[in-house]
Amino acid sequence: MANIPFDQREGSIWLNGAVVPWSDARVHVLTHGLHYASSVFEGERFYGGRVFKLKEHGERLVNSCRIMGMDCPYSVAELNQAAEATVKATGLSEGYLRRVIWRGSEMMGVAAQSNKINVAMAAWDWPSYFSPDALEKGLRLAISDWRRPAPDCAPIEAKAAGLYMICTLSKHAAEQAGFNDSLMFDYRGLVAEATGANVFFVKDGALHTPTPDCFLNGITRQTVMELARRRGIQIFERAIAPEELEGFEQCFLTGSAAEISPVSEIGPYQFEIGEMTKQILRDYHHEVYRVPNSRSAVA
């Protein structure tokens, strides 16, 4: 199904409390979320039929609504029950779940506080965010011209659709130049993240990762830090200047879609796919398949 446009696929989608045929899950072209980015979402993976970190994703989704001034019509528990039902309806054992909440089309204009808040969920087969060949060799990242905004310039703690505009621009530019993705700096010129994933570096047996003070503290990022602590790996969560990239030995990205993705190149800087990166990847693979009493598994 990889090459079938999403509006032409078959299946069902959970929309505002009901399961509808895939082709019937429609919104009007004058939907506020389309024009003014009043939309939040979650991207989640499921393994063995269970959504990984379902509770954490549901809580973040509702919190994103709160930050965006949208009153979510469902509780976290209700959203998570619907997510489980959406995944089950696919018949898939593994895949990707997208939950999205947005303001509807009752009013058009910057202010639309009385608009209906809509909720939809869909799941599909998505084996890998990056190609297997790219992952085996290590991703090649360009360095974006766009920067993550300051905390007083955008709702950086929300997984809000509008924050991904510069990510799309950055990834398009990177792909057009022959790269797999792009590394973004923040408003201060410090290392931030990739276009849809957090970044980690390895040096002298320790992990280094930027402090998430102007971008999302990813759920996969938090999982990797937990896995590293279990192995006694030292973690430095700190400001990372661009010139430090030359001194790091390994690099990898983390995200629900990207999972653990080794990096071999960022601009002029080269990295090896070393043992620590491989170990974190193995540990993550083991973690997502822990059932049924895993802290990460759906109860």
The set of catalytic residues is 159
Bridge-partner residues for 259, per DSSP?
255
SS3 118: strand
Rounded CA separation 265/270 (Å): 5
Residues, the chain: 299
Rounded CA separation 224/72 (Å): 30
Using only C-alpha atoms, what is the Rg of the chain? 19
| The residue to which tokens 């109860």 are assigned | 299
SS3 247: helix
Concatenate the DSSP letters of all residues of 120-155 into one string: EEEEE----SS-HHHHHH-EEEEEEEEEEPPTTTS-
Residue 126 class from Cβ within 10 Å (0-12 exposed, 13-18 middle, 19+ buried)?
middle
- Cβ-based neighbour number of residue 69 at 10 Å: 10
SS3 266: strand
231-238 contacts at long range (C-beta below 8 A, 24 or more positions apart): 231/279, 231/283, 233/205, 233/206, 233/207, 233/276, 234/205, 234/206, 234/207, 235/206, 235/207, 235/208, 235/209, 236/206, 236/207, 236/208, 236/209, 237/209, 237/210, 237/211, 238/208, 238/210, 238/211
